[in-house]
Every structure is written in structure tokens, then in C-alpha cells.
Amino acid sequence: MGVAFATLFLGLVVGVQPVELVVGEGVARVELVLDGSVVAEVAGPPWRVPCDFGAELSPHQLEAVARDSGGGELGRAVQWINLPRPEAEVTVVLEGGADGRGALARLAWESLGQREPRSVLASFDGRPLPVADPRAVQLPSYDPAQLHFLRVELEFSANLSAVAEVVVGGAHRGQAATELTAVPVLVESRRAELEPARMAGWFRAAGAEPAPVAVEEGPGEVVVVMDREAQGALWRLAGRWAPGASGASIHVDPVAPHATPGLRQVRPSSATALSSLRHSAPLREGQTLRFLWPFSRSQEGQRVRYDLFARSEDHPPSHGGVLWLLAAAQQPPFSPAEQRLADAVAVAGSSAAARGRRRAVVLFLSEEPADASQLSPAAVRGYLARLGVPLFVWSVGEVAAEVAADWGEVRSVQRQRWFRDAVDELSGALARQRIVWLEGLHLPHEVALSESARGLSLVR
């Protein structure tokens, strides 16, 4: 075994944190390596050492290297810090198909939620595959001399899924799985076609040139963090926008003390007035919206205390337009004094990047939002940029100057046309994104484009 981490950082961390290790027989010392540099060393029980992750919220690679008394390496363990960590995992093993025919993808999984997935999606070179048996997916015939890309996604619940990617054929001889990094890029033209074979040498990461193995459009995800007071203001605006409403105020039933996040039931009179707005300003097909609520509940882990932020299910355009979803969202009960907008936006960014899809985060503000966050807006904006998650900030009115200074560009949506324009901008930005899968695991902010790259830019 050599060494393993007893302390697992599943949440976001900054500053000095204790790191506890489990070591094997014969280990004389363990080096702690952060982003390639040795930052600490421990030479005996209790095998516990502090690690400084810095004041800036940023992704990191943390390694523990076990050495014997002569300095020889006995083993190492790696964990990724401030990057999405799965609550469910799936592994894929390829059987047969040495000549490109009759290959099976054998699936095995583990989940903290349901034991069995409620759906299994598979694609080969971007084309969907039928899944008759979720444990054995039949692959189509393929040219084993060429590089191919198999992607499998298991959904256990609305908020829990697992994804695996496997490179097939080419130099991998049809049987090797590899670790991949999803890199979001913006294409200059909606019609642009990116082919991995023509993108060799386009990317740089830690002095290397990782090879692109696949380019996908796939689904788009919008994660919304909504200021508690913004929803009521939006209902008042919607009342003026609804045809025939004549400026009448619109009301919804109050939040129940133990409400479950979802979509609220609107009173019949209000529903009638707003029926024409139900599907106003929708996202495009294949794009979904979910909420991450800006308050947390603490939970003790084995060695780390976690702040857990509640989230909703994914809402496709069939559930309603963005206006309806924002106005009818069922918020969990919490007071403005508990609201942590900046902290929630950081978690939303990590959530948006978790499934390797096209992504964006929207922060929706009232004119005077309350915020008891531990992180600053500037730190959170930098973190999302390093993750490759674009941030859109909307408001139902003119926010205070200091709020605008904190969050950068804040777009007012207090007029119906402005609201529609904001949604069009968001949806269009998602449509222009592509996900390029690069060989190897790389910190997202260390990936750069070379001078050879044409027709695209990195999402920041």
C-alpha cells in the first residue's frame, strides 16, 4: 500500500489544513507534494502534518509520497483539491473486439445513493448506443487502428450520476482505459467542426502537449444561485409583464416550514395571469437549469466538517422558461441573515463542472442582497475562471455600487425585453461551448492554447 490519505477533502478548502495519512510497513517518511512542490514532510506517528493551500481558492493536486530509510519510493497517493469529487463512480472494462468486432463494455459501479442506476446512457464516437443490459454494453464494429471514444453515464437520481470515458483503439490497442480531462472551449462559429485528429499540438499543460481524443457538444447545464429577496421582486415584475394583468400584484403561496425544493404551486388566479409567460424566455433544447440554494447546513465527516448546500433537480425547457423557473422555484426555509451568496456561487461552479458538460453559473440578485459568506466575490470569480465556468450576474433592479464592484458586470433584467436578452445571451454562450477531452489529468487553469489553435478560445 505504501501510503494513503486518511483526510479526504471533498469540499472547498483554503488556508492551513491538517492532513492525516495511513502508511504501510517500512515507511520511514512521507513527503507532501502540492502542485509539484514538496511543502511538508512527516517522519513518524501520528503521521499528521499541516498543509497550506493558500489564501486563494484554487484547484490543486495533492500527493503523498512514501519513502524508505534510503529515500527510495514505496508508493504514492493523489487527491485533487477544490475540484468536483464524485459521490458515485463507474468503471469500464473492455472484453473481446481485438479485430474491432464483437467488443463488450463491462460496467461496474458503486453509489452512496441508490444501489442500481435508474438510467444508463452510452455513446461511441459521439453517437448514442443502445443499452439492453446495463452491465454489458455492446460496441459497434470499429477500425482498431483508429482512436475511438466510449462514454458511459449512469444516473442514480436527479442529483447523483457517474461518468466514465474510455479511449479505444489506436495506440491503446483497443483495450486501455485512460484518464481524461474535460476542457470547455468557445468556438467562433456555431457551425465550426472540431476534429481531434486535426487538433494535435493545440493544447499545453505543465510543459506537455496532451492529445485531444474527442470533442463533444452534449447537454448544457445552468446552475442558478438566487438571492432570497430577488424572487418576490421578480413576481412583481412578472405581474406587470403578463398580458391583461394591468399591473396587478402576483402572489404565490408561502413557503411551508419543511418545504422540499422544487416548483411551487401557483394560485389559480396568478396562474391564469401568467399562463402566457409560462414558457417565456426558455433555454434551448438540451440545456437544463437547476438551483443551488445560498444557505448551508454543517455536517461532520470523519476528519473534516462540511457545509452542505441544498440543490434542486435539473429542469429542462419543458418545465418552463427561465422566468417561470426562477419565479416558481420552491426555496427551502432560511433567513436572509443565513444567506451565503459568494460561498454558494463557488459550490455552484464546482457542481457545474462536475459532469464534464457545457456549463454556466447565474447569480440572481435583488437590489440589496444580504451575504454572510466566508469567501469574497473576487475570490469566487477567480475560482470559477480557473475552473472554466462562466459566471453571469443578473439583478431585478439597480444594485448598490459596492455590489456591482464586487461582482463585476451586473446585468439588470427589470424589463421583460432585458430579461429575454439576458437569457438569449446565456443560452447562446452555452451553445457555442464544446468540451474537448484531453489525455491525462490536468489542473484546469494549467491548460492553455498554443499558437497552432484556430477558431476557438478557452472558457474562462
What CATH number does the domain containing 103 carry? 2.60.40.10
Number of domains in the chain: 3
Please indicate, yes or no, whether residues 277 and 423 belong to a single structural domain of this protein: yes
Asked whether residue 452 is domain-assigned, the answer is: no
pLDDT, position 28: 95
pLDDT at 247 over 60: no
Same domain, 360 and 412: yes
367 and 420 housed in the same domain: yes
Q: What CATH number corresponds to the domain at position 405?
A: 3.40.50
The 3-state DSSP class for residue 427 equals: helix
Which domain-ending residue is among 27, 50, 81?
A: 81
Q: What is the pTM of this model?
A: 0.78
Q: Are 131 and 26 found together in one domain?
A: no
| 365-383: average pLDDT | 96
Task: Confirm whether 238 is domain-assigned.
Answer: yes
pLDDT digits (tens, 9 = 90+) for 285-328: 999 999 999 998 876 655 677 788 988 999 999 999 999 899 88
Same structural domain, 278 and 386: yes
Is residue 89 in a domain? yes
Same domain, 110 and 54: no
User: In the chain, pLDDT over 70 holds for what percent of residues?
Assistant: 86
Q: Please check whether residues 273 and 410 belong to one and the same domain.
A: yes
Q: Is residue 405 part of a domain?
A: yes
In a domain, 398, yes or no: yes
DSSP-based three-state secondary structure for 14: coil
Range from 182-196, 391-405, 433-447 carrying the lowest mean pLDDT: 182-196
**Is 284 a member of any domain?**
yes
How large is the average pLDDT for residues 92-101?
A: 79
Do 66 and 94 lie in a common domain? Answer: no
Establish whether the linkage from the previous residue to 46 is cis, with ω within 30° of 0. yes
Q: CA 274, CA 313: separation in Å to the nearest integer?
A: 23
Q: What is the DSSP code string of 242-277?
A: STT-TT-----PPPPTTPPSEEPPPPHHHHHHHGGG
* Tally of CB atoms within 10 A around 397: 14
User: Which of 280-284, 355-359, 400-404 is least confident?
Assistant: 400-404
Q: Give me the mean pLDDT over the 435-457 stretch.
A: 94
Which residue in the block uniquely carries the three cell numbers 466510449?
Answer: 150
β-pairing verdict for 220-226 and 287-300: parallel
Are residues 167 and 228 both part of a single domain? no
Same domain assignment for residues 17 and 129: no
Domain ends where: 55, 81, 107?
81
Q: Are residues 150 and 297 in the same domain?
A: no
pLDDT in tens, 206-224: 889 999 999 999 999 999 9
Q: Is 200 among the domain residues?
A: no
Residue 40 lies in domain: 3-81
Residue 27 within any structural domain of the chain: yes
C-alpha span between 120 and 140 (Å, rounded): 17
* Range in 175-179, 347-351, 370-374, 380-384 the model is least confident about: 175-179
CA distance 138 to 174: 14
Q: Which residue is it, cell 467542426?
A: 193
Q: Which residues of 338-358 are buried (b: 16+ CB within 10 A; e: fewer)?
A: ebbbbbbbbbbbbbbbbbbbb
Do 190 and 448 contact (CB within 8 A), yes or no?
no
Domain boundary among 81, 113, 138: 81
User: Are 75 and 118 found together in one domain?
Assistant: no
